[in-house]
Amino acid sequence: MTNLSLDQAASLTAGAAMWASVAIPEATIPAFTMSDGPMGIASGKVDERDIARLSPCATALGASWDVELARRIGTLVGQEAVGRGIDMVLAPNINLARSPLAGRAFEYFSEDPLLAGVLGAAWITGLQATGTGSCAKHLVCNDSETARDSVNVQVDERTLREVYLLPFEFAAAAGCAGMLAAYNRVNDSYCAEQHHVLTEVVKGEWGYTGTIMSDWFGTHSTVPTLAAGLDLEMPGPARFLGAKAADAVATGALEAVRVQDAAARVAATARCVTGPKSQPLAPGDISALLVEAAAAGFVLLKNEGAMLPLDPASLGTLAVIGPNDAAPCFQGGTFAKISERPDLPSHI
């Protein structure tokens, strides 16, 4: 990496805009663009001005138990990113569906950490095969949307490692370009300030060399955040990092080597995810894959061997109760919402 001044290195620790990192042209460090994407490329506008293919949610992929299928769906989303000029996708979401009321459970593969880890790693491998970077999220214990900015998860070390961190260990082994630190606290520290998780476990024990960034507006401090191991504050412009990181070094509150390390990680990620891209799937292949993946999640509805008492001749009238009868809901909300292309069979 080109030697950077302290000010240059500090500038790389914060984003430039809502969905982009900082570029330093004189050091040949490009900016990279980001998008949410657990179920496809979600526009920052989250409306019909930007459209994309909607892939089956992670819960459906989890129900398929099909590792190769998860990889192929990752490739599809990566290809969509390439077509829209997106360098890094904030996905997969490998938190655990501990409750059906979790708010974002539709983005999660499973309540089982092994299944979530294996399928998440396959999805990452497929996406990154297109040259697009994957940013696995949300590190860690972010399994509920309720009070996510303030909840303080108390968890013992064995449970933390064997249950909550396990999917991220699979993601790290798959070489994900980034990891997204969650909003919540874990054992009294905000995830963006969780030194034990970010530095001791992820970067130290696992040897992870990618970028750890904050969830959007998920930082609360300068020195505790950088000292804990966070590399990139999002979104930009900077709130707590950026120029304030250089100020912290100047006052002796933070070691310059930590800022240079964060900058090196961000720069390496930028160069990697802005490199050559590929789109391996033809349009016809994509449509067939979406149909296949949607069907694969309906494991019980196959009724193989007549296991279920579903005799079409004796069903008679079937009542559909509730608002989804008139307005079907094919996906969840937040930035995982996809504005769908009406000409494609994206919701089977």
- How far are the Cα atoms of 57, 182, 333 from residue 37, in angstroms, in the given order? 10, 16, 12
Predicted pLDDT of residue 52: 81
Predicted pLDDT of residue 321: 84
**Does residue 222 lie within any of the structural domains?**
yes
Sign of CA dihedral 207, 210, 216, 222: positive
Predicted pLDDT of residue 46: 55
**Does residue 141 lie within any of the structural domains?**
yes
Predicted pLDDT of residue 122: 98
Token pair 């398929």: residue: 64
Predicted pLDDT of residue 346: 40
Query: Residue 11 and residue 244: Cα distance in Å, rounded?
Result: 9
CA dihedral defined by 142, 143, 149, 150, rounded to 10 degrees?
-100
**Does residue 210 lie within any of the structural domains?**
yes
Looking at the 3D structure of the chain, how many domains does it have?
1
**Does residue 278 lie within any of the structural domains?**
no
What CATH number is associated with residue 229? Answer: 3.20.20.300
Instruction: Clarify whether 112 is annotated catalytic.
Output: no
Low-confidence ranges of the chain (pLDDT < 50): 342-348
Catalytic residue among 66, 87, 143, 215: 215
**Does residue 293 lie within any of the structural domains?**
no
**Does residue 151 lie within any of the structural domains?**
yes
Neighbours of 91 (CB within 10 A): 30
CB 34 within 8 A of CB 20: yes
**Does residue 122 lie within any of the structural domains?**
yes
- How far are the Cα atoms of 24, 157, 219, 252, 297 from residue 247, in angstroms, in the given order? 19, 35, 17, 9, 52
Q: What is the mean pLDDT of the chain?
A: 90
Predicted pLDDT of residue 344: 46
CB 51 within 8 A of CB 340: yes
**Does residue 328 lie within any of the structural domains?**
no
State the number of CA atoms in the 13 A half-sphere of 220 facing the CB. 14
Helix (H/G/I), strand (E/B), else coil: 347? coil
Neighbours of 222 (CB within 10 A): 22
- Condensed to tens digits (0 to 9), the pLDDT of residues 180-222 reads 999 999 999 999 999 999 999 999 999 999 999 999 999 999 9
Query: Residue 120 and residue 127: Cα distance in Å, rounded?
Result: 11
- Print the domain residue range for 191: 6-273
